[in-house]
Amino acid sequence: MTDSARRAGSGALLAAALVAGAPACAPRARVPRRPASAAGSAPAARAPLRAVGPRVVYSAKGLFDTVLVVDDGDIRYLRFGNVEGDDQSEISLSDPDAVPMEYIRYATIGLAYADGRGRTLMIGLGGGTFTTMLRRLFPAMWIEVAEIDPVVADVAKRFFGLREDDRYHVHIGDGRAYVERSTEQYDLVLLDAFSGAGIPAHLGRRDFFELVRARLADGGAAVANIAAADDAVERGLVDAFREAFPLHACFETPESGNIVLVGVVGRPLPDAAALRERARTLGAALHLPFDLVEVAARLGTGCI
């Protein structure tokens, strides 16, 4: 989610830009981003087991914040700021094909809305888990990523299994600037720059989402993962996306409380039954390691 660049004060600027004139609505109940796990009791016949906590594998100063790689049990996390920061990416150390990150599973529903599989653009790399999954599922797909922080791109390659190739490129630079320069038409665009407290204002306005819409091929779909720290900012982002994409769908992840939005061009939205059938067919054809039908069943949630 790295193009969400934790610039000092940028969250406040975005809040001011988005909330001014926004319709009032009750704040949405926030779900903890990472639920606390219950501590188990030690066996009666043994000494208490020593708790094993997260282990920092790597830490470096990024463009806007400290970038950390943290191992906790079988899961490796990408976090910003400190070891207890929100999870930006997750992988299983024992099963590289697993998809432990909830919002990645939800973002995959975009494949049920997009007609084509030829070209994908992602704004904000994180650990690269979404695009790495796409490369595994669609070896012939062209994949481009715009990531503003070179440290994050380096970490994705060194610790999260990202492998560039002739059809998979990571470009270092601002996401909006990349979209403005691009002349390509994309079947799928994933926007993962809307998490935390420091979301740049130039990525959160309606005009940016309209730029993205203009880069979609007919039958294409844009997917935005939104998990802003401030409810008013989150509400403004959702409103801006929906204004740019009159044809849109909303999904709220049940555990982390992220909002995943899908906008389409060139085709009508499938109804709930059709979406479930597409999800069932896709899941079976791609041998997904999670149930995409469960994601489809959340259609309509998160439309604040």
Q: Which of 92, 121, 140 is the last residue of a domain?
A: 92
Q: How far is CA 3 from CA 13, 170, 176, 279, in A?
A: 16, 13, 9, 29
In angstroms, the CA 160 to CA 92 distance is 10
Say if residue 76 is in the same domain as residue 185. no
Domain span at 86: 55-92
Say if residue 175 is in the same domain as residue 64. no
Number of domains the chain contains: 2
Say if residue 132 is in the same domain as residue 79. no
Q: Is the dihedral of CA 136, 1, 194, 143 positive or negative?
A: negative
Q: What is the pTM of this model?
A: 0.84
In angstroms, the CA 90 to CA 127 distance is 7
Instruction: Specify the 3-state DSSP secondary structure of 81.
Output: coil
Residue 192 resides in a domain: yes
Say if residue 131 is in the same domain as residue 231. yes
Say if residue 78 is in the same domain as residue 130. no
Instruction: For residue 50, count CB atoms less than 10 angstroms from its CB and return exposed for 0-12, middle for 13-18, buried for 19 or more.
Output: exposed
Say if residue 72 is in the same domain as residue 186. no
Q: Which of 64, 92, 120 is the last residue of a domain?
A: 92
pLDDT in tens, the chain (304 residues): 444 443 334 444 344 444 344 433 333 444 444 433 333 334 444 444 444 789 999 999 999 999 999 999 999 999 999 999 889 999 999 999 999 999 999 999 999 999 999 999 999 999 999 999 999 999 999 999 999 999 999 999 999 999 999 999 999 999 999 999 999 999 999 999 887 666 788 988 999 999 999 999 999 999 999 998 888 989 999 999 999 999 999 999 999 999 999 999 988 999 999 999 999 999 999 999 999 999 999 999 988 6
Beta-bridged to residue 89, according to DSSP, are: 78
- CATH, residue 207: 3.40.50.150
CB atoms within 10 A of CB 45: 5
In angstroms, the CA 261 to CA 129 distance is 19
Residue 194 resides in a domain: yes
**For residues 152 and 67, is the Cβ–Cβ distance under 8 A?**
yes
Give the pairing of strands 216-228 and 75-80. Answer: unpaired
Say if residue 140 is in the same domain as residue 225. yes
Residue 131 resides in a domain: yes
Residue 304 resides in a domain: no
In angstroms, the CA 161 to CA 140 distance is 19
Q: State residue 230's pLDDT score.
A: 86
CB atoms within 10 A of CB 46: 7
Say if residue 87 is in the same domain as residue 151. no
Q: State residue 40's pLDDT score.
A: 38
Residue 8 resides in a domain: no
**For residues 143 and 120, is the Cβ–Cβ distance under 8 A?**
yes
Q: What residues contact 143, with CB distance under 8 A and at least 6 apart?
A: 119, 120, 121, 122, 131, 134, 135, 167, 168, 169
Residue 34 resides in a domain: no
Q: State residue 19's pLDDT score.
A: 39
Q: State residue 304's pLDDT score.
A: 67
